[in-house]
Amino acid sequence: MAYAEDAERQVLHEPKSYWTKYVWSQDHKVIAIQYSLTAITVGLIALVLSGLMRMQLGFPGVLDINASEYYQYMTMHGMIMVIYLLTALFLGGFGNYLIPLMVGARDMVFPYVNMLSYWVYLLSVLILISSFFVPGGPTGAGWTLYPPQAISEGTPGTEWGIILMLVSLIFFIVAATMGGLNYVTTVLQARTHGMTLMRMPLSVWGIFTATILALLAFPALFVSGVMMLLDKTIGTSFFMPEMMSLGTQMSHSGGSPVLFQHLFWFFGHPEVYIVALPAFGIISDIISVHARKIIFGYKMMVWAIVAIGGLSFIVWAHHMYVSGMNPYFGFFFATTTLIIAVPTALKVYNWILTLWQGDIHFTVPMLFALAFILTFLVGGLTGLFLGNVVVDIPLSDTYFVVAHFHMVMGVAPILVIFGAIYHWYPKITGRMLNDTIGKLHFWITFLGTYLIYFPMHYLGIQGMPRRYFSFEGLEFISQSAYILNQFITVVAIIVGISQVLFIYNLIHSFTKGKPSGNNPWKAASLEWCTPDTPPHHGNWGPKLPVVYRGAYDYSIPGLTDDFVSQTSTNASVGIVSDIEGEGS
C-alpha cells in the first residue's frame, strides 16, 4: 500500500504552541474531542428543552410556558438532537477519532480541511444558538420545518428564527461535507500495510457507509434549505402556495409544499441511518470485545450495512403517507420500508449469535450495548407498525410515533454513544471511567427511558396527538392519560438530572481515574495497538503497524491469551492452522 510507505518517509512535527496543539489543531484526535465536546454541550441544551416541554405536558402552568415557547423548545430540541448532537458526534466525533486509528493512518488525509470542518460546525452551532436571542426567538416550526407554516406569520420565530435555522443548517452541511470527504478518502486511501477493506472493524464500515449517505443526502436538505430561505427572504415561490395569512393575501403563488416534504425526507430518512449505521458498527465491536467472541458473520454484517445504506434512499415517502399521495406510491414505499427490516434483523440476529455462548463481561460498555440491542428491537418493531400505510394513518401524529422514533433513533443511538464513550475513554485519556458511577448512570438511563417511552405507545394508541401544547378540555383524552403524562414527566426529569453523573464521571476521571494502560479491555483491533495512550501526534511512531488479520480474533482455542491483536502473525502467537484472510 503506497500510503503506508509514504507515511513512513515523511517526518511529522508535533505542534508546540498551545494554540496550534489544542485550538487550531489539525490532529484528528483533537478535532474529534472538539466535535464531541461541542456536540455534548449543545445536546445538554436540548435535554433541558425536553425537560421544559415535559413540565408543560405533565404539570401545565407550573413553569408558565406559553404555546409559542413550547413549539420553539420542541423544534430546537428535535433539530439539535438529530443533527447537531447525533450526526456531529457519530461522524465528527467518533468518525474522526476512530477511523485513522482503526485503519492505521497517521491522520485524516486532508487535516486542514478537517480542521475547517470543525470550525464551520462550531459556527453553525453558534448561529443556531443565537436564534434564542433574536427578536421573536427561535423558529417553532417543528424540526421538519414544513412550509408554508414555517415561514408564515403565526408560527413563532418567523422574523429571524427561521432564517438563522436555515443558515445554520447550510453551514452544518458544508462542515459535514468537508468532514465527510476526509472520512471517505481516509478509509479508501490511507489504510496501513495489510489493512484490507474486509479486515476493517465494523465501526469503520458503519461510519464509512454513513458518511457516504451523508454526502448524498445532506444536499437534499441544502436544496430545500436554500429554496425556503429564498421564499422567506426575497419572495420566490418555490414552496409557498398562494394563500391568505391572517386575512391578507400573501405575495407568493403557485409553489409546492409537498415538494419540500419530498426533499426534506429524501434527506430525513437517510439521516436516520446516518445515525444508525455508525451505531450498528460500534455496537458490533463492543459486543465482540466484551463477549470475547468473534463477531458472527462479519461479511454478512458488512453487506448488511451497505444494503441498509442503499435501501435507505428509497423509503423516504413513508414519512408522508398522510400527505395525500397516490396509494400505489404508498404501496411501493411500504414495501421498501418492510424490506429494510431484513438486513436490519439480520444484524440483530448476528449480535445475538455473537453473544451466544460468549464469555460475557458485564462491563459498563457491554451493558449499554445490550441495552441498545433491546431498545433498537423495540423501536424497530413499532417501525413495522408505522411502515404499513393502513396502520400508520390512524397512528400518524400521535404519541405512538413519538415513542417509536425516540426509541429507535433517540434512545438507541444515545445508548451506543454512552457505551462507546465508556469503551474508548481509556484510549482517549489514558484513564478508566469510574465503574460504580457508570453502572448507576446506566441503570437510571436504561430503565428510565423505558418508563418514559413505553407508556407513550399506549398514549398514542389512545389517540393522544403529538405537538399539542395543552390537552386541557379535550374530552377524547381519558383521565389516565393525564396521570401517565405526570408520571412520564417525573421520570424524564430524573433521567435528565441523572446525566450529571455522566458529566461528573467524564470530568472527574480525566484526572482522578484509574490509569488504563494501553489495552484495558484486551481488545484485538488496531486502535489499542498504539505505542502511547493517549496516542501522540502521528499515532504510530516512525513505523506504521502491519496488519495480519481481522479485528475479532477472540478466544481462539489453545492460545494463552484470549485475544489475538490485528498486528500479530499466526506464527507469533502459535496458531498452526491458517485462518488469516478469512475476514475474521
User: Minimum CB separation from another protein for residue 320, in Å?
Assistant: 14
Tally of CB atoms within 10 A around 357:
9
| CB 113 to another protein: min, Å | 8
Distance CA 325, CA 317 (A): 9
**Contact, 562 vs 522, CB < 8 A?**
yes
Q: What is the DSSP string of 516-566?
A: --S-TT---SGGGG-SSSS--TTSS-SS-----S-S--BS-TT-SSSB--T
Q: How far is the CB of 8 from another protein (least distance, A)?
A: 11
If one asks whether residue 145 binds another protein (CB under 8 A), the answer comes out as no
Q: Which of 68, 149, 185, 555 binds another protein (CB under 8 A)?
A: 185
Contact predicate 86/92, CB 8 Å: no
Nearer to another protein, 455 or 538 (CB): 538
Nearer to another protein by Cβ, of 110 and 471: the residue is: 110
If binding is defined by CB under 8 A, does position 324 make contact with another protein?
Answer: no
Stretch that binds another protein, among 11-19, 137-145, 201-209, 557-565 (CB under 8 A): 11-19
Nearer CB in complex with another protein: 82/217: 217
Piece of the chain touching another protein by CB under 8 A; list 164-172, 173-181, 423-431, 467-475 = 173-181
CB of 245 to another protein, least distance (A): 17
What part of residues 219-238 is at the interface with another protein (CB under 8 A)?
219-220, 222-224, 226-227, 230, 234-238
Write the CB contacts of 413 (distance below 8 Å, at least 6 apart in sequence).
86, 90, 275, 276, 279
Residue 6, phi then psi, degrees to nearest 5 = -60, -45
Grid cell digits, residue 90: 457519530
Per CB under 8 A, does 323 bind another protein?
Answer: no
Nearer to another protein, 177 or 396 (CB): 177
The cell for 453 is 417511552
Cis amide leading into 148 (omega within 30): yes
Residue (of 268, 381, 380) closest to 320 by Cα position? 268
Site membership for another protein, residue 281 (CB under 8 A) = no
Interface residue with another protein among 181, 275, 369, 407 (CB under 8 A) is 181
Binding flag, residue 263, another protein (CB under 8 A):
yes
Q: Using the rule CB under 8 A, is 66 a contact of another protein?
A: no
CB 81 within 8 A of CB 45: no
Based on CB atoms, which residue is closest to another protein, 233 or 478?
233
Query: Is 271 an interacting residue with respect to another protein (CB under 8 A)?
Result: no
487 sits near another protein (criterion: CB under 8 A): no
- Chain positions 536 to 555 lying near another protein, rule: CB under 8 A, are 537
Instruction: Identify which range of 8-16, 147-155, 358-366, 413-421 contacts another protein by CB under 8 A.
Output: 8-16
- Window 16-55: contact mask with another protein (x via CB under 8 A): ----x-----xx----------------------------
For the CA atoms of 324, 325, 330, 332, what is the dihedral angle to 10 degrees?
A: -170
Contact 137, 120 (CB under 8 A): no
Give yes or no for residue 110 binding another protein (CB under 8 A).
yes
188 binds another protein (CB under 8 A): yes
- Residue among 36, 117, 139, 177 that touches another protein (CB under 8 A): 177
Footprint of another protein on residues 335-354 (CB under 8 A)? Answer: none
The yes or no reply on residue 262 touching another protein (CB under 8 A) is yes
Closest CA to 1 of 185, 192, 218: 192
From CA 182, how far away is CA 110, in angstroms rounded? 6
Smaller CB distance to another protein: residue 130 or 189? 189
Q: Is 356 in a helix, a strand, or coil?
A: coil
Number of residues that bind another protein (CB under 8 A): 56
Q: Residue 278 is placed in which grid cell?
A: 455508525
The least distance separating another protein from the CB of residue 321, rounded to whole angstroms, comes to 16
The nearest distance, CB 278 to another protein, in angstroms, is 18
Contacts (Cβ under 8 Å, ≥6 apart) of 363: 290, 422, 435, 521
Is residue 329 close enough to count as binding another protein by CB under 8 A?
A: yes
State the Rg of the chain over Cα. Answer: 24
Contact status, residue 47 vs residue 496, Cβ threshold 8 Å:
yes
**CB under 8 Å to 71, separation ≥6 — which residues?**
140, 141, 142, 155, 156, 467, 469
Residue number, 270 or 410, with CB nearest to another protein: 270
Considering only residues 67 through 96, tell me which ones interact with another protein, judged by CB under 8 A.
none
- Distance of alpha carbon 218 from alpha carbon 227, whole angstroms: 14
What whole-number distance in Å separates Cα of residue 456 and Cα of residue 364? Answer: 28
190 binds another protein (CB under 8 A): yes
DSSP state of 361: -
Question: What residue has cell string 448488511?
Answer: 304
What span, in angstroms and rounded, lies between the C-alpha atoms of 286 and 140? 39
Judging by beta carbons within 10 Å of its beta carbon (0-12, 13-18, 19+), is residue 332 exposed, middle or buried?
middle
Shortest CB 22 distance to another protein, Å: 13
Q: How far is the CB of 25 from another protein (least distance, A)?
A: 8
Name the H helices within 190-297.
202-233, 257-290
For another protein, give the closer residue by CB, 289 or 389.
389
Residue selected from 196, 253, 335, 569 as contacting another protein according to rule CB under 8 A: 253
Q: Contact residues for another protein (CB under 8 A)? A: 2-3, 6-7, 10, 12-15, 20, 26-27, 106-107, 109-112, 177, 180-182, 184-185, 188-190, 212, 215-220, 222-224, 226-227, 230, 234-238, 251, 253-256, 259, 262-263, 266, 329, 537
